[in-house]
């Protein structure tokens, strides 16, 4: 699945694979069409007892549904928006089924989460709409899904704004750039790789690529916690490990991951909910372990060296790897020089940290 499909989390059948996903998809389509339009005990669609938490950001609203009844394994929540006349609110294709907005999420530990980007919806007037959530599941051996219940809450929509895929991706781009800039200004090669990844993976239209370039040239946001929370809320279908794998690849744009980049990725992992005591395991899985076995040997000094000795050795070694000195050499030599530069920097930082 392409990254754009991964992060939306509202694509029909995206959360359940195979023939079961197909059957669920038929039910989702019926709900999106408004076939189930109201809570009606006579139709055996009971009202569900649900706590709803809404968190707004500059682009949309993060919705958390806490189901007070135990949801059986395999239950899925399907949410749509309807206007005062009961008509489904339409949306752009990425957030719609049959043209109508729909968010489908598996219910895990009694909770379902999704994001509603206001500008992706197609409505004329701001005001009070209704968020209608239906819970369905496919029992073992059943030929069609069962509707377990439904709930409705008021949902206020603000004045409509223009949809921008780039704005939607802002928190994710912020994390990528923070890792890319971990050691200062990145190379043009690193910037190009990130730009190409976003254009290809998220299908950025040509008309919005200037906006993408402007975003990449903005000052790097250093609030990793806010960016991480933004990604979690806008992209609830994206698993933490998938995001960390992306950031690990970003850290390798200019050679082996630097010590600073690895620290940033560790902080992001913790903000995404990965316990700190699991970081060593995650670091190994992401292949982010340090490749510098002995920093003093790499710098050509002994452990008793002073801070001044460490700095002098680092500058001397680094001078021989300067880009101007290898600019006319084979590409393999230039790549090796970049790798050695990163390793020297890590050895230098490690040796300085070891000093009292």
Tens of pLDDT along 211-241? 999 999 999 988 999 999 999 999 888 889 9
% of residues, the chain, pLDDT over 90? 43
**Tally of CB atoms within 10 A around 294:** 10
In degrees and rounded to multiples of 5, residue 35 shows phi and psi of -65, -35
346, pLDDT greater than 50: yes
% of residues, the chain, pLDDT over 70? 84
pLDDT at 308: 86
The string over 42-69, giving b where at least 16 C-beta atoms fall within 10 Å of a residue's C-beta and e elsewhere, is eeebeebebeeeeeebebbbbbebebee
More confident: 202 or 63 = 63
pLDDT band at 333, cuts 50/70/90? Answer: confident
CA separation for the pair 297, 209 (Å, rounded): 46
177, pLDDT greater than 90: yes
Enter the CATH code of domain 164-289: 1.10.3680.10
Q: To the nearest whole number, what is the mean pLDDT of the chain?
A: 82
The answer to whether 130 touches 157, Cβ cutoff 8 Å, is no
Average pLDDT rounded to a whole number, residues 80-106: 90
pLDDT at 36: 43
pLDDT at 9: 44
* Segment among 11-25, 290-304, 311-325 with least mean pLDDT: 11-25
* Segment among 43-52, 144-153, 317-326 with least mean pLDDT: 317-326
pLDDT at 195: 94
24, pLDDT greater than 50: no
pLDDT at 43: 56
The model carries a pTM of: 0.76
pLDDT at 123: 95
- Specify whether domain 3-157 bears CATH 2.60.40.2550: yes
- Specify whether domain 292-356 bears CATH 3.30.70.60: no
CA separation for the pair 1, 17 (Å, rounded): 12
pLDDT band at 293, cuts 50/70/90? Answer: low
pLDDT band at 202, cuts 50/70/90? Answer: confident
pLDDT at 35: 45
More confident: 19 or 113 = 113
pLDDT at 104: 86
CA separation for the pair 145, 24 (Å, rounded): 6
pLDDT band at 309, cuts 50/70/90? Answer: confident
Average pLDDT rounded to a whole number, residues 90-119: 90
Tens of pLDDT along 107-165? 988 999 999 999 999 999 999 999 999 998 876 676 777 888 899 999 999 999 999 99
pLDDT at 345: 77
pLDDT at 37: 42
Q: Where are the domains of the chain?
A: 3-157, 164-289, 292-356
pLDDT at 2: 52
Tokens of 22: 């197909």
pLDDT at 72: 80
16, pLDDT greater than 50: no
Q: In terms of C-beta distances under 8 Å and separation of at least 24 residues, what long-range contacts does 278-283 make, across chains too?
A: 282/241, 282/244
pLDDT at 302: 82
- Up-side HSE of residue 3: CA atoms within 13 Å toward CB? 14
More confident: 143 or 245 = 245
């Amino acid at each position: 699945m392409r990254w754009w499909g991964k992060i939306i989390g509202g694509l029909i059948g995206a959360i359940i694979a195979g023939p079961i996903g197909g059957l669920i998809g038929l039910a989702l389509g019926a709900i999106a069409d408004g076939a189930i339009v109201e809570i009606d005990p006579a139709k055996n669609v009971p009202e569900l007892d649900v706590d709803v938490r809404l968190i707004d950001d500059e682009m949309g609203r993060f919705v958390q549904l806490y189901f007070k009844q135990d949801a059986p394994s395999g239950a899925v929540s399907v949410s749509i928006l309807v206007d005062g006349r009961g008509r489904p609110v339409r949306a752009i294709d990425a957030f719609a089924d049959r043209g109508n907005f729909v968010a489908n999420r598996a219910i895990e530990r009694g909770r379902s989460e999704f994001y509603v980007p206001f500008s992706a919806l197609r409505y004329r007037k701001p005001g009070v709409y209704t968020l209608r959530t239906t819970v369905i599941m496919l029992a073992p051996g059943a030929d069609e899904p069962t509707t377990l219940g439904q709930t409705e809450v008021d949902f206020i929509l603000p004045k409509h704004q223009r949809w921008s895929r780039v704005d939607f991706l802002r928190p994710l781009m912020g994390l990528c750039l923070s890792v890319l800039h971990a050691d200062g200004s990145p190379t043009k090669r690193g910037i190009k790789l990130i730009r190409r990844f976003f254009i290809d993976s998220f299908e950025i239209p040509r008309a919005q690529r200037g906006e993408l370039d402007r975003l990449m040239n903005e000052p790097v946001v250093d609030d990793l916690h806010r960016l991480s929370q933004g990604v979690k809320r806008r992209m609830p279908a994206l698993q933490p490990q998938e995001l960390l794998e992306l950031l690990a690849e970003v850290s390798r744009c200019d050679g082996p991951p630097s010590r600073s980049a690895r620290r940033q990725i560790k902080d992001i992992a913790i903000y995404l909910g990965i316990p700190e005591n699991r970081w060593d395991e995650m670091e190994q899985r992401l292949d982010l372990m340090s490749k510098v076995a002995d920093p003093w040997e790499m710098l050509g000094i002994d452990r008793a060296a002073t801070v001044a000795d460490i700095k002098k050795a680092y500058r001397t070694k680094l001078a021989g790897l300067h880009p101007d000195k290898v600019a006319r050499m084979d590409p393999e030599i230039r790549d090796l020089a970049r790798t050695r530069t990163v390793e020297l920097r890590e050895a230098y930082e490690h040796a300085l940290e070891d000093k009292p």
